[in-house]
Each structure stands twice: as C-alpha cells, then as structure tokens.
Amino acid sequence: MLNNNQNPPRRGRPPKVARSNADTKALLISTGVETLTEFGFSATGLDTILKKVGVPKGSFYHYFNNKDAYGLAVIDAYNDYFIAKLRRYLEQDDVPHLERLINFTQSAARGMDKYDFNRGCLIGNLNQELNHLSDEFKNKLLSSYQAWQQLVQTCLEQAQREGVIATSVNTQQMSEFFWIGWEGAVMRAKLTKSTQPLILYTEMFLRALLR
C-alpha cells in the first residue's frame, strides 16, 4: 500500500536506455519528426520509432496514450521548428523583403538535397494521408498553414509599404497561393530528385508578385 508520501506508478516500463522522462519524450518526438517526414504517418509503425530510440513498447504508453496522440505531438514539434525557421529568414532586418523569401526557398532546397530528396515537409506529407487522419489532425494541419501564411503575408505587406510590389497585390491571397504552390513544388522535387521545381516555383511566384 502506498503511503501519503508516495506517488502512484506511471503506466509502462522504463526505457532501455537510462535517461530522464523529459529526455525520452523529446527524443521520441524528434525521432518521429525525422521518420514521419520521410515515410509518412500511416506507413510508419510504432516499432520503427521505438527501435530507433531504444524504448520498449510498454514504455511508449508512459508518454503517449496512443499513436494518434503521438502524431499530434510530432506535428506540434515540427510546426514550432518550422515557424522558427521562417522567422529566421523572413524577419531579417538587414535583408530586402523579397530576398528574405528567396533565402528561405534556397535553404529549403539545400535541405532537400542534403537528404537526397527523401524528406520534404511533414505537414505537406500528411496532406497526402487525409483520408486516414482524424479531424484533430486536419485542424492542426490547417492551423500550421495559417500560421505560415501569416508570416509570408507580413513579409509581403512590408515589401508593399516600401514600394517593392504594387499596392494592388492582395497579400493575403498571395501568401496562401505561395504555400499551395510550394507544397506542390516540394512533392515534385521529391519525385524528380532535383531542386529545379523549387527554383522554378520561386521564380514564377516572384514574377506574379512583380508583374
């Protein structure tokens, strides 16, 4: 029997590798980001993740109630990472506004090339699995896109105030258009194993802004 100074045990076994609970949970999530970005959510079994991390299956449920809860946590982590990356490029005070967008797309192209075009965008990949995902997943994906669009819209609005793009440009529509087209370009880059679709899309988007 537990005395008043003891806490009830958490469900699940400890991980095979000695580390703190916070470290193990963070490692599960970061490994999920890497793995799901490459292979997708539906096609990735928990055993694949657990083997990489060195965590027994029983211990997984110490951190997450089920695979869906885990997937949602992975989306949150990816979205936080991606927003930080966008801000790093789109909020550079010493760089012209449209050049900031170019720098972001070039960085993304280098990243895809680094991983031999096996990885793309986790949010975009999950869009290919919508028939198998819950409404909670779909709402998170939509929220991610809306946050990304807002950052691009702010960048375009600043370029507009400086006279770089015409005042007639609808920055809200163009920021949404950017991500719709960009995700398609990422998928084509994976298919062709080439950065050319990303380069072409960036060029055509800028032409649409400046014409």
User: pLDDT tens digits for 127-140?
Assistant: 989 988 999 999 99
- pLDDT bucket at 1, cuts 50 / 70 / 90: very low
Distance CA 156, CA 172 (A): 9
Distance CA 129, CA 122 (A): 11
pLDDT at 83 over 90: yes
Q: Which CATH architecture has domain 12-64?
A: Orthogonal Bundle (1.10)
Q: Which CATH architecture has domain 75-210?
A: Orthogonal Bundle (1.10)
3-state secondary structure of 19: coil
Burial grade of 148 (CB within 10 A; 0-12, 13-18, 19 or more): buried
- What pTM did the predictor assign? 0.85
**DSSP per residue, 134-150:** -HHHHHHHHHHHHHHHH
User: pLDDT tens digits for 136-164?
Assistant: 999 999 999 999 999 999 999 999 999 99
Start-end of CATH 1.10.357.10 domains in the chain: 75-210
What is the average per-residue pLDDT within 26-50? 92
User: pLDDT tens digits for 89-122?
Assistant: 999 999 999 999 999 999 999 999 999 999 989 9
> For position 113, what pLDDT does the model report?
96
Distance CA 102, CA 97 (A): 9
Start-end of CATH 1.10.10.60 domains in the chain: 12-64
